[in-house]
Amino acid sequence: MPALFVTGTDTGVGKTVVTALLTRALRTAGADCVAMKPLASGCERTDGVLESEDALFLRSVGGFDAPSELVCPIRLEPPLAPLVAAQQNNLNTSDWPHRAREAFDELKRRHEWVLVEGVGGWCVPLWSRDDGSVATCADLVSSWNLPVVVVARRTLGTINHTTLTCRAVRESAELHGVIFCDAEPIESDDIAAHTSPKIACELSQARQLAFVPYESDWDKAARVLEPFVRELLR
What are the catalytic residues?
37
CA distance 222 to 234: 18
3 state SS of 94: coil
Asked if residue 172 lies in contact with residue 138, where contact means CB atoms within 8 angstroms, the answer is: yes
Asked if residue 63 lies in contact with residue 27, where contact means CB atoms within 8 angstroms, the answer is: yes
**Of residues 119, 16, 6, 102, the one with CA closest to residue 59:** 16
Asked if residue 36 lies in contact with residue 4, where contact means CB atoms within 8 angstroms, the answer is: no
> In the sheet that 175-181 helps form, which strands lie side by side, from edge to edge?
33-36, 113-121, 3-8, 148-152, 175-181, 208-212
